[in-house]
Structure 1
Amino acid sequence: MQKLKISLEGNLSANVLYLPALRDSDQVLLLLSEIWGINQHILEIAEQYVNLGFHVLIPNVFFRQKETVCLDYDEQDTQTAYHLYQQLDLVQAATDLDQIMDQSLKMIGKTQIHILGFCMGGTLCYLLKNAQIKTRIAYYGSKIGQYLEQIQSIQQPTIIHLALNDHLIGLEEIDHLKKAVQGSKNIQTFCYDKVGHGFNCPYRANYNKVASELAYQTNLSFLKNFLGER
């Protein structure tokens, strides 16, 4: 694991963790975390995709507020996470991430990137505009109604994983999304019955092993189709 220091406009800098692929590959994955930052759960996901042949980049989305964010799921850390999230401008964060992608790809000598985001990171998946993005995978990214227009305008092949018992994303909102992207060649939605927000995370109360594995297998098939490799 390496740490890249990315220089951005406005005399800012952001730290990005870089995990090189375990085999020769030109495929890069940008992994966007939940509000708890780059914690054990996110690092375990990174290992999964490194083993598949991806170079993985993990930016600290909160770099404008705090240099490093690695929080647990207990009450105190969750309060800290929500405070950071409430102070975050998602549109600005997406603009920052587009710049971070450009600089990171130059540093590691790659030219295309795939996006995988969870919770807050799933929402950011909708907003990124970098021309080098090849595919997107969003897990239970909220604010669907607010960003429906941006979701509909996505041009890259995209998967959106949604829980049907999600306290942050209501069934009406999910229905609006499914109707909006019906017939789209770019966007697929996958809904999981009787599971809640955060179902992919084994450290959260809503973890559902069956749904998590089903979503992962869907991702493998999706990426294999578009990358020609697994």
Structure 2
Amino acid sequence: MGDGTKNGAEGPVITQAMIKAYDDYTHLTLDRRGFMQKLTVLSGSAASAAAIAPLLAASGARAALVAPDDTRLKTETVTYPGEGGTMSGYLARPAEATGRLPAVIVIHENRGLNAHIRDVARRMALEGFVALAPDFLSPDGGTPENEDEARTKIGALDPARTVGNAKATIAFLAGYAQANGKVGAVGFCWGGGLVNRLAVAAPDLGAGVAYYGAQPPADQVPAIKAPLLLHYAGLDERINAGIEDYRAALTKAGKTFTIEIYDGVNHAFNNDTSAARYDKPAADLAWSRTVAFFKNYLG
């Protein structure tokens, strides 16, 4: 699937070092000024850095794969009691469904609930699920438009309260009139890590799918009840450092799990709004596995 670069004929050359710098900026300690300085050095000029930065970032202007007004779906904003405050989320479900459907929580990245995650929820609904994408910044005023601000606010969230809000989302969907009572969760990046922590904390979680998510401490793994599908990007050194310890703990505890590693692709390979890191073959394969997994355990 390639080495994460674009050739010059198609646009600016994007190297793994540039992608790593962006990952450090969005997940670790590098600030935007430091990121642009590093990108300038890596690309050779400030002008090249300015052209490359938007390709590394996610673009809210990219077209959704499922239109917000798709007539096959019913969508709405819902609110429900959370951990010490009201939670809000974007709910999508098939318009013509006659019976009760399994439900899936779609957990956002560290950018918060944005257009891309709403699109993912619509995709899940088209697969035959009630899909709810909660805004985990709801208790703090909701996801802001500015991504850097959203990342800062998500970084300041109380982990225990956040898990409590995820458990409250399970409870809401379990009682939702059009749902069958079985609830799974899929999360991406920060959301993938939250799926792993939710699996530890919520024995009523029906199934969990984590895309390139941070792993929970090994001593917490025995508490997991839900079957897990864990997607990892082959080039994602930061997250992948925890795979083998997680695998060993899950195996020792006798848990039901599958680990899938997609060679040659980067963290956030599923996010089609990020031109440099999106990998369609890997994203399509992971999605097909995710849908089949949920249909098997929640159907």
TM superposition score normalised by structure 2:
0.66
Report the more deviating stretch, 174-183 or 31-40: 174-183
List aligned pairs for 1:49-128, cutoff 5 A: 49-67=124-142, 69=143, 71=145, 77-108=146-177, 110=179, 111-128=181-198
Distance of 1:216 and 1:159 partners within structure 2: 11
Partners of 1:57 and 1:187 lie apart in 2 by: 23
Percent of matched pairs sharing the same residue: 24
Cα deviation, 1:132-166, whole Å, max 9, x if unaligned, reads 32111110112x2x533334532111101011211
Instruction: Name the counterpart of 1:13.
Output: 86
Deviations 1:157-186 (A, max 9, x none): 11010112115314x322222233337451
Cα distance, 1:8–1:91 mapped onto 2, change above 3 Å? closer
Distance 1:226 1:105 in 2: 15
Q: Is the 8 A contact 2:224 2:255 kept in 1?
A: no
2:211 maps to 139
Q: How far does the alpha carbon of each residue in 1:175-215 deviate from its partner, in whole angstroms, 9 at most, with x for none?
A: 22223333745111111111111010011231111111111
Distance of 1:224 and 1:26 partners within structure 2? 10
**After the TM superposition, which parts of structure 1 deviate over 4 Å for at least 4 consecutive aligned residues?**
none
CA distance in 1, matches of 2:134, 2:233: 25
Q: Is the 8 A contact 1:114 1:133 kept in 2?
A: yes
Q: Structure 2 CA distance, aligned partners of 1:114 and 1:125?
A: 9
Q: Contact 2:183–2:298 at 8 Å: present in 1 too?
A: no
User: How far apart are the structure 2 equivalents of 1:5 and 1:224?
Assistant: 26
CA contact (8 A) 2:206 2:298 kept: no
Contact 1:39 1:70 (8 Å CA) reproduced:
no
Question: What CA deviation, in whole Å up to 9, does each residue of 1:88-140 have, x standing for no partner?
Answer: 12222011221232134334364221111111111111122334321111101
| Change in 2 beyond 3 A, CA 1:87/1:219 | same
SS in structure 2 at match of 1:27? strand
Q: Whose radius of gyration is greater, 1 or 2?
A: 2
Q: Quote the residue 2:269 is aligned against.
A: 199
Structure 2 CA distance for aligned equivalents of residues 168 and 15 of structure 1: 31
Inter-partner Cα distance in structure 2 for 1:168 and 1:66: 30
Deviation of 1:19 after TM superposition, in Å, equals 1.3
Alignment-derived partner of residue 74 in structure 1: none
What are the ranges of 5 or more consecutive residues in structure 1 without an aligned counterpart?
Answer: 72-76
Whether contact under 8 Å (2:104, 2:185) holds in the other structure is yes
User: What is the one-letter code of the residue matched to 2:205?
Assistant: I
Aligned residues: 218
Task: Name the CA shift for 1:18/1:220 in 2 (closer, same or farther; >3 Å).
Answer: closer
Distance 1:215 1:51 in 2: 16
The CA distance in 2 between the partners of 1:70 and 1:54, in whole Å, is 28
| TM-score normalised to structure 1 length | 0.84
2:202 counterpart letter in structure 1 = N
Judging by fraction of residues, say which structure has more helix. Answer: 2
Give the corresponding residue for 2:256.
Answer: 186
User: Equivalent of 1:211, from 282, 289, 293?
Assistant: 282
Q: In 1, distance between residues paired with 2:207 and 2:243?
A: 21
List runs of 5+ in structure 2 lacking aligned partners.
1-74
State the SS of the aligned residue for 1:195.
Answer: coil
Distance of 1:103 and 1:3 partners within structure 2: 13
Paired with 1:17 and 1:56, the residues of 2 have a C-alpha distance of 8
Residue type of the partner of 1:4?
V
